Amino acid sequence: MKISVSTKDPAAYTGDMIILFVRQPAKGQPVCPVPGLAKAMAQACLSGDFQGREGQTLLFYPIGGKGRPLGTRRALVIGLGKDEVKRETLRQAGGSACCATMKTKATKLLAVLPEDVGLAVLVVAESLAEGLILGAYQFHKYQKFTDPDETPGAISEITLFSSRATEARRGLARGRVAAEAAWVARDMANEPANYWTPAHFARFGRDLAKSDGLKCTVLGKPEMIKLGLNGLLAINQGSSVPPTMTVLEYRCGTKKAPTLLLVGKGLTFDSGGISLKPGVGMEEMKYDMCGGAAVMAVMQALGRERPRGVNVVGIVPSTENLPGPAALKPGDVVTLYNGKTVEVVNTDAEGRMILADALAYGVATFKPDAVVDIATLTGAVIVALGHHRTGLLANDDALAARVLTAADEAGEPAWRLPLGPEYRKQLKSQVADLKNVDKRDAGTILGAVFLQEFVAETPWVHLDIAGTAWNYTEKSYIPKGPSAVGVRTLLALVRSY
């Protein structure tokens, strides 16, 4: 999809649709930023059909003929509401614009930036671009539409009008990098498990290294055996598809810059192993790699944006978890990368096993200043927080605050849950250093407590996205299915450096 900035008079635009964003005034009618549309918009307001409420839409067709006010066929007005306009307000407005547009035959749009909403033009352009691009996302790779009436609309070109082009282009560049990274993560998650395997993570990493100047290292099964990544190997035992661990490195070129380690769970399909999940809904377990997809997508964004001030390492341990003849069994004991032994009480608590190896390996190898892992780890987080907030747990208050701020900025809110030695007692094993799960009490916290054993003293944050990676809070710019939550949070975190 093409997206650019223009300073040409909107009245001269000859594409398919012009989009306006207006505030809802305390009294009177919303102000129309394009004089040629003011009369038609005023008529809609007088009729009571449009007030500019947040998310409200008005679609009309400018009258042609001599003295035609516009060169476009359609006009769409999006309300921003009467409250303070924030980044998320603009994202939602951009998403609403795309939802309305794709119900028509319009493919080329001009969006007039609302530059009088109390935010810098850069922020307006960035946020609106995110909403427009994210809202235009579709995944129809495996569908064939033969009936024109059933063929979904698609947007091919978006132009942002601004009187301050330099700031708008900078904002657009930032918003585009973030939104396109989220597209990539959604694409990965939407792929069926037979078309997205551990080898595909490795291939994506290698391709990314070539195209965007990153360093990629792929550890296969022989390397894992040599290194002692036994948690990842153990979970893989039931599958005929080999595991991979893909390591991507971005170097900013600044001496003494801190290093941030990102680790994403890459379970390309999770049946639960011997501790088999119920059959209903199991098809959604292809989404169990959304954390890994988020990390890969962030590394793509960094390769294109080239931020200064921080080095970033992304690690994605990947495997399937299946009940094959050699599968891991409840009661088995596994020695993980850092030497700790784990009694496997439940093979469906597999994500923490592969993350533990990746975390311990990443901390020992790269000696990062901070670590963030992201994973669809526990169903318990859905019980606690629903599908509205990501669970956050941490061993460092400053890093936790930094990630929470990044999450709010991205419109992907998180909620911090506690950690403490009293929870660690629940993972005490009679035959090993710890067990991988206890009874259901405090399930999300216990998942994090387990992972904490593998980050040493490094400042660390764990993001549990099991409730937000799909079936997320309904938003105009997030479709049904995978949300790509975490991509823009992690990118905002990196940018904060």
| pLDDT (0 to 100) of residue 415 | 98
- Tens digits of per-residue pLDDT, 151-206? 888 999 999 999 999 999 999 999 999 999 999 999 999 999 999 999 999 999 99
DSSP string of 205-239, one letter each residue = HHHHHHHH--EEEEE-HHHHHHHT-HHHHHHHTT-
Predicted confidence (pLDDT) at residue 73 exceeds the cutoff of 90? no
| pLDDT (0 to 100) of residue 37 | 87
Burial of 487 (0-12, 13-18, 19+ CB in 10 A): buried
| pLDDT (0 to 100) of residue 69 | 54
What is the distance between the alpha carbons of residues 155 and 351, in angstroms, rounded to a whole number?
Answer: 37
How many Å is the maximal CA-CA distance in the chain?
Answer: 87
Predicted confidence (pLDDT) at residue 9 exceeds the cutoff of 50? yes
Catalytic annotation on 256? no
| pLDDT (0 to 100) of residue 151 | 85
Please give the angle made by the CA atoms of 222, 226 and 227, to the nearest 5 degrees.
115
Catalytic annotation on 277? yes
Percent of the chain with pLDDT over 90: 90
Query: Average of pLDDT values for 312-320?
Result: 98
Tokens 């990062």 — which residue?
368
Predicted confidence (pLDDT) at residue 65 exceeds the cutoff of 80? no
What is the distance between the alpha carbons of residues 253 and 309, in angstroms, rounded to a whole number?
Answer: 8
DSSP string of 311-341, one letter each residue = EEEEEEEEEEE---TT---TT-EEE-TTS-E
What is the distance between the alpha carbons of residues 347 and 330, in angstroms, rounded to a whole number?
Answer: 6
> For the chain, what is the total number of helices (H) and then of strands (E)?
14, 18
Q: Which residues pair with 263 in a beta bridge?
A: 315, 373
66 or 221, which is more confident: 221
| pLDDT (0 to 100) of residue 160 | 97
| pLDDT (0 to 100) of residue 148 | 83
67 or 248, which is more confident: 248
What is the distance between the alpha carbons of residues 363 and 358, in angstroms, rounded to a whole number?
Answer: 8
- Tens digits of per-residue pLDDT, 38-47? 888 999 898 8
| pLDDT (0 to 100) of residue 290 | 98
Q: Which residues pair with 57 in a beta bridge?
A: 78
Percent of the chain with pLDDT over 70: 98
Structure tokens at 182: 């989220």
Q: Which of 86, 277, 475, 495 is catalytic?
A: 277
26 or 299, which is more confident: 299
Predicted confidence (pLDDT) at residue 66 exceeds the cutoff of 60? no
Domain boundaries, the chain: 2-163, 180-495
Q: Which of 87, 352, 402, 435 is catalytic?
A: 352
* Predicted structure pTM score: 0.96
| pLDDT (0 to 100) of residue 64 | 53
> What is the CATH code of the structural domain delimited by 2-163?
3.40.220.10
Averaged confidence pLDDT in the chain: 95
The superfamily CATH assigns to domain 180-495 is Zn peptidases (3.40.630.10)
